[in-house]
């Protein structure tokens, strides 16, 4: 199975990987913008047909989130095998803002502004057999020409439907390839308590479909300092499951195979501190897509 993106070329991806320290869980050369806590969900043309549809049109609900009984030695192996076909390695093209200096030393504000080509990578996963895909907003922010590789190496084109800049979520759809597709069902993150096992699958450093295991360390982590009256914020799941650059947008999965969160960031200066957006907020975002104001024809 190839883990290299087929379009930008191996050299460009290797250059991008040298910039992994620039992003928390997504490999990109773009500078991340400041997001206002009251920023609205952004809708794109393809989202128009979803207005008024039910949740089961775009997402699959898990029958159970929390496993019962004792954990056997093959539990994680089964979860990984079941999830693997529905996890995607996402690639995209970017433009990095930079300045070309004409002097051998740096003077702030001087220089010719240019836009340099780059490439980035992240993760995503299919939540409905019709090809609806979840990832992080920062995985695709400022990017073009999105595509993905499946676990079997199949190349898939992606259309962006909606982006929530505050919850750092994006809904995409596979286009040009008929389904049905394998899915990871959405569970209830409220039923994944502190101390429960958490399996992450993603595309760290472009290595493709890597599985890591840990536990949920804490829930309800508010890291932005935003007050309720000021706007929304992510109520993060904290875990010690390893999340590395490129893992952003992949699923955090319970031992029943249900998604409980979308992996978003790892704290680079610490060991075993990573964060995921809980599925309670994923469903808020999806409901906004189904009920919110759509773009004009």
| Six token digits for residue 244 | 């590395």
Pairwise CA distance, residues 112 & 133, whole Å: 39
* Active-site residue (options: 89, 150, 248, 274): 248
* Active-site residue (options: 128, 168, 209, 274): 168
Sort strands 197-202 and 112-126 into parallel, antiparallel or unpaired. Answer: unpaired
* Active-site residue (options: 138, 146, 209, 217): 138
What CA–CA distances, in Å, run from 27 to 5, 101, 141? 13, 26, 12
What CA–CA distances, in Å, run from 3 to 16, 88, 175, 282? 15, 11, 21, 28
**Known catalytic residue at 146:** no
**Known catalytic residue at 196:** no
**Known catalytic residue at 168:** yes
The residue assigned the tokens 């992003």 is: 23
Check: CB of residue 146 under 8 Å from CB of residue 160. Answer: yes
The catalytic residue positions are 138, 168, 248
């Amino acid at each position: 199975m190839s883990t290299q993106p087929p379009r930008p070329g191996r050299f460009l991806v290797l250059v991008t990987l040298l910039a992994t320290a620039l992003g928390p869980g997504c490999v990109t050369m773009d500078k991340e913008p400041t997001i206002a806590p009251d920023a609205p969900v952004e809708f794109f043309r393809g989202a128009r047909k979803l207005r008024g549809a039910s949740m089961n049109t775009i997402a699959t609900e898990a029958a159970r989130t929390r496993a019962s009984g004792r954990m056997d030695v093959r539990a994680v192996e089964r979860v990984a095998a079941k999830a693997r076909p529905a996890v995607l390695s996402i690639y995209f093209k970017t433009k990095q803002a930079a300045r070309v200096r004409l002097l051998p030393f740096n003077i702030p504000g001087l220089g010719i502004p240019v836009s340099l080509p780059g490439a980035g990578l992240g993760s995503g996963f299919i939540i409905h057999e019709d090809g609806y895909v979840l990832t992080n907003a920062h995985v695709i922010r400022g990017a073009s020409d999105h595509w993905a590789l499946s676990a079997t190496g199949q190349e898939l084109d992606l259309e962006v439907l909606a982006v929530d800049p505050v919850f750092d979520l994006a809904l995409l759809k596979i286009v040009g390839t008929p389904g049905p597709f394998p899915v990871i069902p959405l569970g209830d993150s409220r039923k994944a308590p502190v101390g429960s096992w958490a399996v992450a699958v993603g595309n760290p450093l472009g290595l493709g479909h890597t599985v890591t295991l840990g536990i949920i360390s804490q829930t309800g982590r508010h890291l932005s300092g935003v007050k309720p009256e000021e706007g929304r914020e992510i109520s993060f799941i904290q875990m010690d499951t390893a999340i590395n650059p490129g893992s952003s947008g992949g699923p955090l999965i319970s031992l029943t195979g249900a998604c409980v969160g979308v992996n978003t960031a790892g704290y680079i200066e610490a060991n075993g501190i990573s964060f995921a957006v809980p599925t309670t907020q994923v469903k808020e975002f999806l409901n906004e897509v189904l009920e919110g104001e759509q773009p004009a024809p």
